Every structure is written in structure tokens, then in C-alpha cells.
Chain A
């Protein structure tokens, strides 16, 4: 804050503050514009990041895994015939920094049958004790319980409803693998409800032993690894170092494929849109200050005659713009963070947005629960409005004031 003083000995910032509130209505308009821009900025970043976070979490913990070890052949063609040739490397994985836990998975296409209907599915054989350490699926069992022993199956709730299978009933899984066609009757012990359509409508979890028996595969199609959010790429690179030739570690960004590019594009687009918002808000602030300066030309002439130089006059005007913008920014911060915190705590957006964009959400792996995020950097991004307003004011109204001749200015009515 400037410590320059006016000819009357009042600090310049105090003079700017007083000037700001002498035209209360105009100042409130200025503050409102900046508050709105700041609020929008914070909310849109919170919404965008919340959406991306939901998508990444859905893929990392519900649909796929943070890091998956598999053969490149399986990655290209997810067929049990392309399963891992052996699991000798597994013991070395927990030693890799960042790897929290490992869980074997054996995925295979199958037909799920009840007495009433049948449905093509991608079944996943798991190690029940390990799966919960890499996946949120066990935590989403809403009816019954999680898989524990061979002969049991856990289904997505929507899938179970589609074939009319209930907890305690037997369903049939028909599969084909290197060992030829096999079928098994499995008892439904639990239903998963995650609000992610792909999960609720397609999950079939069975014991790894059953999956091996059905497919004839003696290893697994992949090893799912727990890795901290945001460090998946680094962990995958570290894991790759301990893997034998012909086996690869795929990070979440590898696994989500095209979505990775979409994520980067989404953020660039959002940054551009919000910059335009800030630009308009700053222009609105500048125009308000400009009108104020034009109306106060005589006043500036008097102040100048009393001894305040053109440079300080310019600083006074810029200070007014900065102070007004800062107040608007503060109010926008409070409102923006209040909303993102509320929408981050309660699923208010999901039921509103999902019915409209449901199909797109399905493709992205986002569920009916949509939460916003609240990060401190959103507030920093929103200061762009203040910076732009100050720059525009310097280039426009402040420049005009600096060029004022006191004698001429005092003659203006």
C-alpha cells in the first residue's frame, strides 16, 4: 500500500478509500462486477476440477486402478489369452516407493444368466482380501457383503436389477478361455452401488480361483497397484524398472487413454474462458473509474493545484480501482468458496446435471455424485481481474488524470 501523502497530510490510500465511497452507488457496481467475476472464477475452477477429480477417482478406484501391470498384448486386446505369463515379479512390487498394495485381477468376457434374462459382461476375478486395498469397490457394497470365498459373486446393483437377481440367489457365468468353454453357478452375496453407471451396470466380481477355473488361466490378466493420487505416472515408471521384459506398468493416464488429452484441453479451455471473464470485469471496472475521473475533473484540478503531482494523481486513481477490485475480490472469494465448499460436501449438482448429461458422464466414468473442489489457488487465479483492472486504469483513467492541467481542470463545470 502506498504511503505517499496528500498535500493535506492524508495518506494517499486513505484519500482513495474516501473517494471510493463518496460515490457509493458506482463503487457498489464496481465491487459487484469484480465479486461476480471472482465468484464465477472460483466456482468454475471448483466445478471443473471436481468433475475431473470425480472422473479420475472413478477410473482409478472403481473402473480400473491407479497403476496396472499387464502385458502389452493384453492392453491391445483384453483377452484372457494375453494374460501375464507368470507372477514371479509380484514380490518385488511392494518394495517400489509409492506402491501401497497389490491385487491380482483376472478379467474375461462372459455371459451372466438368471432364470429371467442374460447379459454380456466383463467379469473380474479378484483376491477378496487384497481388492479393498487398491479399489473402492468393496466399500460400495450396499446390500449383502463383499465377496469372501469361491462360489460367490458380487454384482453391480443396476446389473442385478436388469437380470432380476437378488442377494442369496444363484446366477450362471458362461465363459470361454484357453481351457475351452466353462460355466459356473455362483451365489450372489452382495450388490455394489457406486453411482458410476459403468460400475453399477457392469460389475461382476468373483473369486480369482473361480475365474481361473472358468478361463483356464493360471496367472492373472493384471496386477492392480495402489499409488497416491497424482503420482501414478511416477509410480508406474518406478515399477517398470523391476518388471521383466514383456510386462508393462500402465499409469492411470495410460489407462484412461484419450481422456488424458481431453483433461488438458478442458483446463486450457477453462483458463481461456475465465481470462475472458476477468478481462470483461476489468474493463467494467476501468470504465466505471473513467466515468468517475471525467466527473471529478474539477476536483482533480483543485487537488493538483494544492500540490499533488500528476504522478500521485495517477496513483490515486489506480489505487481507487485496486481497492474497489480488492473488495469485490474478497466478497467473491467468500461467496465462491462458500458455494464450492457446500457443493463439495453435499451432492447437489449431481441430480441436477446428470439427467441432462448422463450419457456423456457414462463415457467419462463419472457417476451421479458430482462434487466441487475448493483449492487456495483458485483465489490466486481470480486476482487476474484486479491486476487487469489496475493495468487498464493505469493505461486509461490514470493517464488522463496525469495529463490534466490544473488551471484547465478547475474551469470544467
Chain B
């Protein structure tokens, strides 16, 4: 085989092993999926529809994120809640309430609390708990989709018995996450749709969270006016930005 024919073949073999390895290494797949749920650095408008039996409340939020562990969220509507803001920086969480004109730091336990009364917790907004707390196992894989089963690590701070994640096999764009309790009953489902390119990733702009134990409890999050891969100034993740915007 000539040198000119050997090189492309070697590159192809290398590519095969590289992609093949990523697809079958559950940890790498999980990291890629979590990256896709987080997108890259971004600015966007997030419309949050909190559905409860017989009623629905819609929030309009301005979101800034660095694609890692920092997010700044300002509530624009409804008028009743406008002006509230949330700053998430790793394990730290601050809330600004315009009535008090003060930023309050929430205890870490607050991260598990419901965000604006929705089915989303503060952890869902900026955490990487799925990577940190669970051991992934490849449950199913074909040309279109890959499914992981996550089981909690010993003493991991999660109350769930297991989690399943389905994603696109090629882009690792997330399709669905189902949380099960320790009695193998599905308790929460997150579904993703309407993907857009975000750098090298496919970012879902429509996310639906359903409480499977309480019929009618659902939260729909839709991103609009999004910009990905932009430079987000450091001062966006400060208390000053929490109070006055970024």
C-alpha cells in the first residue's frame, strides 16, 4: 500500500476508534450529554410556563451563563415578580429581591428548592450533579440514539435510585432524562426538543419537566433570542450584576 493511500486509511481507522471509544465510554458520553444541556456561554430569554392543575403561570427570564457553573437570571415578567434575580456560582446561590433591595445568600440546601415555584430546582439551572453523583452504564446504543443508566455512587447526595438518559448517538444532544425513586418508580421526566447549534453542540431550546407523581404538574422552558459562544464579562457573575443587571 502506498504512502498516499495508507494515510487516509490510518486517519479513518483513527477516527473510527475515536468516535467508537466516545460512544462506548459511558463517562465520556455522559459528559458530552451534560455539556449539551448546558450549551456554551450564552445570553437568552427563557420563557417558563409553570403548569398546575387548573392554572398556569408564565415567567419571562433573562439568562446569562458561562456554559460551566455560573448563571445569572433576571425575572422580567410577570410584573409581580419582575426585578427578582438569581446568581448561581458553583455551590453558591444568591437571590436579589427588589422589595428588600438586598441580595441574600441561600444556604446550600436551598439549591434543591423549587425555582420560582416550578418543577425546576436551582441545581437544574447550573449543576453537573449527573456527572458527579452517578456511575453511568451503557444501556442501549444504535445508530440514532444512545441510552445510559446512571446509578448513584456510594454516599452520593441524591435521593434517586437510578436515572436513565437518552441522547442522539451522533451529537449527544439530550432527548430525555427520567429519574426513578428507589422503588423503581419513575418520578420525574425531562424531555428536550427544538435543538439549535451552539458552537459544536446541539442545544435544546425546549425543555419540559413533568412530575410523574402529581398529574398536571409540569414546567415548560423555552429559550428564545439566544446567542451562544459569546464573550460574557466576568462582572456578570457578581453581586452588583445581580442587583443592577449585566
Which residues on A are within 8 Å of B, measured CB to CB? 109-111, 113-116, 118, 120, 151, 168-176, 180-186
Contact = CB atoms under 8 A, between A and B. Distances in A.
Interface string B84-109: 00000001100000000000000111
Contact of B155 (A169, A181, A186): A186
Interface stretch (B142-150, B157-165, B202-210): B157-165
Contact of B112 (A109, A111, A168): A111
Given A109-B107, A113-B112, A181-B108, 16 more contacts: A111-B107, A111-B112, A115-B159, A120-B109, A151-B154, A172-B112, A172-B157, A174-B111, A176-B107, A181-B107, A182-B108, A183-B108, A183-B157, A185-B155, A185-B156, A185-B157
Given A172-B159, A182-B108, A115 B152 contact: no
B79 interface: no
A180 B179 contact: no
A111 B156 CA distance: 15
Nearest to A118: B112
B182 A169 contact: yes
Majority-rule SS of B interface residues: loop
Nearest to B90: A181
Contacts of A182: 108
Interface string B203-221: 0000000000100000000
Contact residues on B (Cβ < 8 Å of other chain), bracket: 20 to 34
Contacts of A116: 181, 187, 213
A184 B109 contact: no
B159 A175 contact: no
Contact of B109 (A110, A114, A168): A110
6 contacts: A115-B160, A173-B157, A174-B157, A181-B108, A183-B108, A184-B157
A170 B107 contact: no
Contacts of A110: 109
Interface in B126-159: 133, 152, 154-159
Nearest to A164: B181
Interface string B105-128: 001111111000000000000000
Contacts of A113: 112, 159
The 3 closest A-B pairs by CB, nearest first: A111-B109, A181-B108, A183-B157
A115 B179 contact: yes
B159 A185 contact: yes
Nearest to A114: B159
Contacts of A170: 152, 158-159, 161, 182
Most buried by A among B92, B107, B157, B182: B157
Nearest to B154: A151
A185 B112 CA distance: 14
Nearest to B188: A115
Given A111-B109, A115-B179, A169-B182, A185 B91 contact: no
Contacts of A111: 107, 109-110, 112
A176 B109 contact: yes
A185 B182 contact: no
Given A115-B160, A116-B213, A174 B155 contact: no
Contacts of A114: 159
A112 to B, nearest CB: 9
A170 to B, nearest CB: 6
A394 to B, nearest CB: 72
Nearest to A169: B182
Most buried by B among A118, A120, A168, A185: A185
A87 to B, nearest CB: 25
A186 B161 CA distance: 13
Contact of B108 (A120, A151, A169, A175): A175
A180 B157 CA distance: 15
Contacts of B213: 116
A110 B108 CA distance: 9
Given A115-B182, A185-B156, A174 B187 contact: no
A111 B108 CA distance: 9
Contacts of B112: 111, 113, 118, 172, 174
A113 B129 CA distance: 15
Contacts of A183: 108, 157
A120 B154 CA distance: 23
B157 A181 contact: no
Contacts of B179: 115
Contacts of A181: 91-92, 107-108
B109 A115 contact: no
Contacts of B107: 109, 111, 174, 176, 181
A175 B109 CA distance: 6
A178 to B, nearest CB: 13
Contacts of A185: 133, 152, 154-159
A170 B152 CA distance: 10
Given A151-B154, A180-B91, A115 B187 contact: yes
A86 B161 CA distance: 39
Given A176-B109, A181-B91, A171 B159 contact: yes
Most buried by B among A116, A118, A176, A181: A181
A183 B181 CA distance: 19
Nearest to A172: B157
Nearest to B181: A115
Contacts of B161: 115, 170
A109 to B, nearest CB: 8
Contacts of A115: 159-161, 179, 181-182, 187
Interface string B154-180: 111111110000000000000000010
A182 B111 CA distance: 11
Most buried by A among B112, B113, B182: B182
